[in-house]
Amino acid sequence: MQTFYQISDFLKQHKWRYIMGVIVLLVVDGLQLITPRIIGIVTDGLTEGTMTIKYIYMYAALIIVIACFIAVLRYAWRMLVMGAARDLEFWLRNKFFSHLETLSPNFYNNNKTGDLMAHATNDISSLRMTFGPGVIMMTDAIFIPATTITIMLFTTDIRLTLLALLPLPFIAILMGVFGKVIQKRHKDVQAAFSDLTDKVQENMSGIRVVKSFVQEEHEIDKFLKSNNSYIEKNMRLVKVFGFMFPLVAFIASLSFIITLGYGGSLVIRDEITLGQFTSFIAYLGLLTWPMMAIGQVINVLQRGTASMKRLNAIFDIQPDITDAAVVKDITQEELKPAIEFNNLSFTYNGAKHPALSNINLKIEEGKTLAILGRTGSGKTTLVNLILRMYNTQEGQLSIGGHDINTIPLKTLRESIGYVPQDNFLFSTTIKDNIAFSNIDMGMEKVVQATKFAHVYDNIMEFPLQFDTILGERGVTLSGGQKQRVSIARAIAKDPKILILDDSLSAVDTKTEEKILEGLKQVMKNRTSIIIAHRISTLKEADEIIVLDEGKIVEKGSHEELIVLHGLYNSIYQKQLLEEKLENEA
């Protein structure tokens, strides 16, 4: 059970459901052993001429009563054991999703969505099978053979029992051999399923790119290969079952052949009665299912073990970003939105060169900082460190005079409104997307945020307005509308620090001016950081820094940077020329 330590809490909490379910199952199995004995008694009575109609009716009624008890108790153990297994599936899937929510962004950089989906579906379902049908089959495989063989030994000839049971141990040996093969091939099936779901998810998300490049046939071919691989891996597993179960059935049939041959001769020689022989065959028939169940138990246990190991590998991963052992007792209201970088350097894991080098910067409370730089210069990395998506060394970054590592994560992130480059929207209503930070947010606040973001008029043009359901990732909106809804979501949060990461790139210049005018009112009493490639977006900021290869190469106001005739001025002159050419066109 060491492999299943992640679900030990659930098993302890629900152990009595399993115990009661197994007890009821044992009662059912015991009742099933009575019927063959009754058949034997009736057969002997008919043979000897001592059986009357009255006794036949009595025994028939007894069989009916036993069958009714079995039916009721089977319902009971199914509700107890199978119900507990379903609850385990529900509990484990919630635990798995909750754990995924705690993991850092770097985890998702290294793990495919398809793999995680396979863990959340197939692997957890395999665990349900292990602790549902697996428990039932294991109980049957232990109890029925033990009790049935005991009855056969004491009610029939010992020699016949031993000879009839002689082939059965070979079944257990074969199951042990097949079990290792099953576990390996099941793992291959799960990996192939992960690859298949990843292909589907990736294509559904990028369907517009696929169509724009006319690559439907190419993607279909790639999917076909993944699908073929999945089927091939499944067929390799099916072949094991296809060989295993007929072999088990064949070995079990040898027992019947021995019984018919040797047992029949004992009846002819009057060493056992016909009733005993009939009961013996019935008991031998009861043994067939448990012997078959041994194979299924091993299969289910091997699958469950393989799936649990895959899930453990995810559960054992700890988030890179967590609250320190000792954090300050700071509330969101107490945290001052003043940001200071002190000789900060940062390098991504596996990277040869630092993304940021020797950053020294102070953003006073209520001021606006603008960041300009070429692609890959470290702009987004800088704001990700403020959000603490990655860890910094102690003393390199502080907010409100507190080292960022000592501020509770919840307090820190609740204080920041962030509009990322990838304007992700959820497949729900526009209203729910904007009110994402607080599901109880009033409609008045939502509307006000959309007016500041200059997207209110666009929303009102939709037939359902704020109740419009967005497609996956907000696909029903244009690029500019998605950016503005994302801005509205950040504004509606009413944060102390507002970060806009290239969030006006998809709107035209006139719309940009209107949005910036609205944002002026929003940014009056809060610290703001604006990342942009267009200088028109950031020239009104209190301070502008220019990043190049992870370093601050220029710093100052718009006018100060122009007279430096450096990188900022070079970009500005190019943009002025482009704007002039567009106007002339």
Tens of pLDDT, residues 5-29: 788 888 888 889 888 998 998 888 8
The residue that leads in pLDDT, 76 or 425, is 76
> Exposed, middle or buried: residue 273 (CB in 10 Å: 0-12, 13-18, 19+)?
middle
2-315 CATH fold:
ABC transporter transmembrane region fold (1.20.1560)
- State mean pLDDT over 115-139: 83
What is the reported pLDDT for 474?
A: 67
H-run or E-run covering 56: helix 53-77
- Convert the pLDDT of each residue in 162-201 to its tens digit: 787 777 777 767 766 777 777 778 778 877 887 787 777 7
Q: What is the DSSP letter of 5?
A: G
Q: Given this model, what pLDDT does residue 584 score?
A: 62
pLDDT of residue 302: 78
pLDDT given at position 477: 75
Beta partners for 403? 398
Q: Which secondary structure element, helix H or strand E, spans residue 344, and what is its range? A: strand 339-346
Mean pLDDT score, 122-137 = 85
Arithmetic mean of pLDDT, 296-323: 81
Domain at 330-415+497-515+524-585: CATH architecture: 3-Layer(aba) Sandwich (3.40)
Tell me the C-alpha to C-alpha distance, in Å, between residue 122 and each of 86, 194, 284, 299.
14, 9, 36, 15
- Say if residue 585's pLDDT is above 60: no
Q: What is the C-alpha to C-alpha distance for residues 331 and 444, in angstroms, rounded to an integer?
A: 26
pLDDT value at residue 558: 82
The C-alpha atoms of residue 499 and residue 169 are separated, in whole angstroms, by 70
DSSP string, 522-561: HTTTSEEEEE-S-HHHHTTSSEEEEEETTEEEEEE-HHHH
pLDDT at position 68 is: 92
What is the DSSP code (8-state) at residue 461?
A: T
Domain ranges, ordered by start, for the chain: 2-315, 330-415+497-515+524-585, 426-494
Q: What is the pLDDT of residue 213?
A: 65
3-state secondary structure 464-517: CHHHCECCHHHCCCCHHHHHHHHHHHHHHCCCCEEEEECCCCCCCHHHHHHHHH
Per-residue pLDDT, 506 = 65
Evaluate if residue 541 carries a pLDDT over 60: yes
pLDDT at position 221 over 80? yes
Using the predicted structure, report yes or no on whether residue 48 has a pLDDT greater than 60: yes
Is the separation of the CB atoms in 461 and 484 below 8 Å? no
Single-letter amino acid, residue 136: I
State mean pLDDT over 319-328. 74
Q: Which segments within 377-475 are labelled E, that is strand?
A: 397-399, 402-403, 416-419
Flag whether pLDDT at 72 surpasses 90. Answer: yes
322: left (phi over 0), alpha (psi -120 to 50) or beta: beta
Does residue 565 have a pLDDT over 70?
Answer: yes
Phi, psi torsion values for 499, nearest 5 degrees: -120, 120
Fold of 426-494: Rossmann fold (3.40.50)
pLDDT at 292: 65
- Kindly report the average pLDDT of the chain as a whole number: 81
Each residue of 378-410: pLDDT tens digit? 888 888 888 888 888 777 888 888 888 888 888
Asked if the domains 2-315 and 330-415+497-515+524-585 are classified in one and the same CATH topology, the answer is no
pLDDT reading at 295 higher than 80: no
Nearest to 12 by CA among 110, 88, 98: 88
497-501 and 416-419: which strand pairing? Answer: parallel
8 A C-beta contact, residue 373 and residue 344 = no
Contact 292, 245 (CB under 8 A): yes
Q: Compute φ and ψ for 545, nearest 5 degrees.
A: -120, 145
Phi and psi, residue 292, nearest 5°: -65, -35
- Percent of the chain past pLDDT 90, that is, above it, reads 2
pLDDT-derived band at 1 (thresholds 50, 70, 90) equals low
Q: What is the DSSP letter of 79?
A: I
Q: How confident is the model at residue 31 (pLDDT cuts 50, 70, 90)?
A: confident
Lowest average pLDDT, out of 95-104, 168-177, 425-434, 484-493, goes to 168-177
pLDDT at 42 over 60: yes
Reported pTM: 0.73
